[in-house]
Each structure stands twice: as C-alpha cells, then as structure tokens.
Amino acid sequence: MKPLIAPSILAANFANLPAEIQMLNTSQADWIHFDVMDGVFVPNISFGFPILEVVHRYAQKLLDVHLMIQEPERYIETFKKAGADSITVHYEACTHLHRTIQQIKAAGSKAGVALNPHTPVHLLEDIINEVDLVLLMSVNPGFGGQKFIQHTYRKVEVLKSLIEMHQSNALIEIDGGVNQSNAPILLQKGADVLVAGNFVFSSADPIQTIAELKQISL
C-alpha cells in the first residue's frame, strides 16, 4: 500500500503561491496540507482564511487544514466555507473534543484530531471511532524544518493497535521532519499519510521528491 502524500504549503514560496499550487496539482501529491497557527497555542503565526481561499481557488487536491489554534470551534464553519475538505484540531486545544468533532462533520468536512509529541495516544480511546484521521506531531508544533522526534515510531505502533482494537477507520497522519529516511519506517509501523514541507519545497525537484515519497511502499 502506497502512502498518501500531503505537502505542507507552510514551506512554499508565497511570492509565487499560484505557481506552487499548480506544481502540486501536477505532482503525485494526494492532499495539500495547510497549517494554521495563532501565536497563542503555538509560538508562531502563519495564515488564515484569505490565504486558504486563494489556495482553494487554484488547488485540485484535497485541502487538509491543521488548526494549531486555541478555541478552534469558533472558526470551523468559516474554514469550511474557505475550502477546507478536512479539518484537524488539537486534543490539547479542545475542552469539548467530541462536540468539536461533531461540529466539523456537521459543517461537511472530514474530522481529525492532532496530538503533540508529549500527549499519549491512549487519551483518544473514547474518540477513535468518531474521527477520520489522527495526526501525530513528530516535531514540536509551531515551526517548520525541525528534527524528527524518534519516539514517534512507538506512538504510531500504539495508535495503530488502538485503531485495530476498536475497528476504527481512522487514518494515521505524520507531520514534522518527514523525509525519505524515516518514511519507510513510519509506513511499516502503520502510518497512512505523510506531511512533508521543507523536504519537498527545498528540494531541487519537488515533483520528483513527491514521486519518490509516493513510491515508498511496504
């Protein structure tokens, strides 16, 4: 089984964003990953609705929106209207996670939940059958280009076991420091979706880099 590849446009050239999106359209990328940061939940600010609307205007791939923000429930409907096909919120940012997941589904998007590196997988036991994906942060959220955290491999194994035990259909998505060296191991452990930012956009041939990630299989 080949992985789903979701390049993160956080690493794209925003001076030439339409061309970057068109490049992804012609590549073997499956999704386009869109990181939203508010400067509160994470120590950085990225972009929001206006940029998502631009990306949606040009994109021919599923838009995978990752909300690294406080009180994400306030903005679910607006992100959906701006073009989000999938919306992932952080376990750590949601007081009423089940309600927020239901809100995302009611808006018409796929629903995901993300875990920071320090957050244990077992906390998802009561929600695992409600979500379409679980995003494991393999770096500390907030900045691109960080080094992959090795403990992520074990978390993927534990999450895969939880999903199988509960007969959930949730996909496992990995975000942070993904490259050709760790991607095969992540897939072996049970990952389904690989987010890659700097690894794709800083390469000499992003289309070829995406193709090489796509060709990795078990």
Catalytic pick among 30, 85, 175, 192: 175
**What is the separation of C-alpha 197 from the centre of its chain, rounded to a whole number of angstroms?**
11
Best CA proximity match to 137, nearest among 129, 127, 128, 146: 146
> 3-class SS at 176?
coil
Which domains, and CATH codes, for the chain? 4-214 (3.20.20.70)
pLDDT tens digits for range 19-74 = 999 999 999 999 999 999 999 999 889 999 999 999 999 999 999 999 999 999 99
Q: Phi/psi of residue 29, each to 5°?
A: -60, 145
Binned at pLDDT 50, 70 and 90, residue 145 comes out as low
How many residues are present in the chain? 218
**Residue 38 gets which letter from DSSP?**
B
Q: Are the C-beta atoms of residues 129 and 99 closer than 8 Å to each other?
A: no
Order of strands across the sheet that contains 4-7: 4-7, 193-196, 171-175, 133-137, 110-115, 86-90, 62-68, 31-37
175 is catalytic: yes
Residue with tokens 């194994």: 157
Q: Phi/psi of residue 53, each to 5°?
A: -60, -40
Reported pTM? 0.96
Q: Which helix (H) or strand (E) holds 22?
A: helix 17-26
pLDDT tens digits for range 77-133 = 999 999 999 999 999 999 999 999 999 999 999 999 999 999 999 999 999 999 999
Catalytic pick among 30, 35, 38, 64: 35
